[in-house]
A and B are shown apart, each in its own frame.
Chain A
Amino acid sequence: MDVHENKLIAEIEKLKADFVNTTEKLIKDVKRQDKIMIRSDKRQQQEYDELERKFAEVEALQREIEETQREVVFTMGSIGESRSKETGNHVKRVAEYTYLLAKYSGLPEKECEMLKQASPMHDIGKVAIPDSVLNKPGRFDEAERKIMDTHAQLGFDMLQASSRPLLKMAATVAYEHHEKWNGKGYPNKLAGEEIHIYGRITALADVFDALGSSRVYKPAWDDERIFKMFKEERGEHFDPNLIDIFFDNLDEFLVIRDTMKDV
């Protein structure tokens, strides 16, 4: 009987030892899992902080790039302007007009915004026109006119090598803003929709602003005269659709002109 009892006790003792072993192992495991969890949480937090910091950095850089681009593009436009007989807020108004025309032509918002930035560079080619021609008071003779007209090609040559979409767009604008719907413009005598919409839009915006501004060599045209000319040039100089858009939304164009007039 004693032996039997002892055997049972031994078995229970063994079970107890196994149990202790197992529970110790389990406790160790649970502790380990907790540790892993705490460390993972800590690491994740650090990593997330780091990510946030990096993202903020990238965003700041992105803004910096965009602002720099805007500034460079605008400055280039101003240089073109300073080399031409246009003055004051000309390029700023052209920018706004092109935006409106693009918007009502149904171009996507992003493209309208880009055109607004690119169109001020339409005369950048004038930086390469000699002063003797550029600053000549009064009318150009035929040879001088020819030299002046190269500014479209020159502007294109300056900008077209860029792979930046905005500068590519500006290259198109510079190249085609003197083309006419009837094919009698320059430099390539393109006609109708052969002329890129950016070129057609900028042509109208540029002429509208130039006519309405006074220059040393000419007074500002009054509105009646401008509108009459625009109606006559509908389908001649200008894209008929853009002329329609212009007159349909005339109020908005006049608001821009009034709020950004030269002082």
Chain B
Amino acid sequence: MQNIKIEATKYTPEISLDTNGTIALVGKSYPENTFEFYAPMMEWLEEYFNGNAAEKTVVNMEIIYFNSSSSKLFFDFFDLLDENASDNAIEINWIYDEENESAEEAGEDFIEDFEGLKIKLVQK
């Protein structure tokens, strides 16, 4: 299974998916076609949790801005993690800048929605 690294653009975050269990999304997320953009990531995750997962998976999300379809995509993303949370050690860090209130609030919302996931708010 290959690692994936997608460089950030003006509208999309940097994505790195490493089979050693490190997953990171950093930047802004308002792609023109959100589901198309994230499709490779979601496919990779399916494959990863289908017997290729590392002992521990750490997800670092540092999204400074995102649109509503990204919001939907993140729900799907967390759903996928949720489904695999019982068989895998998954740790999620929602990283936000002190001054970015809406990023902080978004993190709080996800914690509320996904009680089964270990989501930690991390202030930069």
Q: Which A residues have a C-beta under 8 Å from some C-beta of B?
A: 32-33, 35-37, 39-40, 43, 46-47
Q: Determine how close the nearest CB of chain B comes to the CB of A105; give it in whole angstroms.
A: 45
The number of chain B residues with a CB under 8 A from chain A is 10
**Which residues on B sit within 8 Å (CB–CB) of A39?**
68, 71, 106, 109
Contact B102 A36 (CB under 8 A): no
**Which residues on B sit within 8 Å (CB–CB) of A37?**
68
For residue B35, CB closer than 8 A to chain A, the reply is no
Contact B75 A36 (CB under 8 A): yes
A32, A35, A43, A46: which has the most chain B beta carbons within 10 Å? Answer: A43
Taking chain A's interface residues, is the majority helix, strand, or loop, or is none over half, making it mixed? helix
Q: Determine how close the nearest CB of chain B comes to the CB of A78; give it in whole angstroms.
A: 44
Which B residues between 87 and 117 are near A, CB-CB below 8 angstroms?
101-102, 106, 109, 113
Q: Determine how close the nearest CB of chain B comes to the CB of A246; give it in whole angstroms.
A: 55
Q: Determine how close the nearest CB of chain A comes to the CB of B12; give it in whole angstroms.
A: 18
**Which residues on A sit within 8 Å (CB–CB) of B118?**
none
In the A-B complex, list the 5 residue pairs whose CB atoms are closest, starting with the nearest: A40-B68, A36-B71, A43-B102, A36-B68, A36-B72
In the complex formed, the residue of B with least CB distance to A36 is B71
**Which residues on B sit within 8 Å (CB–CB) of A47?**
102
Given contact pairs A35-B109, A47-B102, a sample of 15 additional A-B residue pairs in the complex whose CB atoms are under 8 Å apart: A32-B75, A33-B72, A35-B113, A36-B68, A36-B71, A36-B72, A39-B68, A39-B106, A39-B109, A40-B68, A40-B71, A43-B102, A43-B106, A46-B101, A46-B102
Q: Determine how close the nearest CB of chain A comes to the CB of B110; give it in whole angstroms.
A: 10
**Which residues on B sit within 8 Å (CB–CB) of A33?**
72
- A35 CA / B106 CA spacing, docked (Å): 12
- A32 CA / B106 CA spacing, docked (Å): 14
**Which residues on A sit within 8 Å (CB–CB) of B102?**
43, 46-47
Can you spell out 7 A-B residue pairs with CB atoms less than 8 angstroms apart? A33-B72, A36-B75, A37-B68, A39-B71, A40-B71, A43-B102, A46-B101
Q: Determine how close the nearest CB of chain A comes to the CB of B80; give it in whole angstroms.
A: 14
In the complex formed, the residue of B with least CB distance to A47 is B102
- A39 CA / B102 CA spacing, docked (Å): 10
In the complex formed, the residue of A with least CB distance to B65 is A47
Q: Determine how close the nearest CB of chain A comes to the CB of B122; give it in whole angstroms.
A: 20
- A37 CA / B106 CA spacing, docked (Å): 13
In the complex formed, the residue of B with least CB distance to A32 is B75
- A46 CA / B106 CA spacing, docked (Å): 13
Q: Determine how close the nearest CB of chain A comes to the CB of B118; give it in whole angstroms.
A: 21
**Which residues on A sit within 8 Å (CB–CB) of B68?**
36-37, 39-40
A33, A36, A47: which has the most chain B beta carbons within 10 Å? Answer: A36
Q: Determine how close the nearest CB of chain B comes to the CB of A123; give it in whole angstroms.
A: 50
- A32 CA / B101 CA spacing, docked (Å): 22
- A36 CA / B68 CA spacing, docked (Å): 7
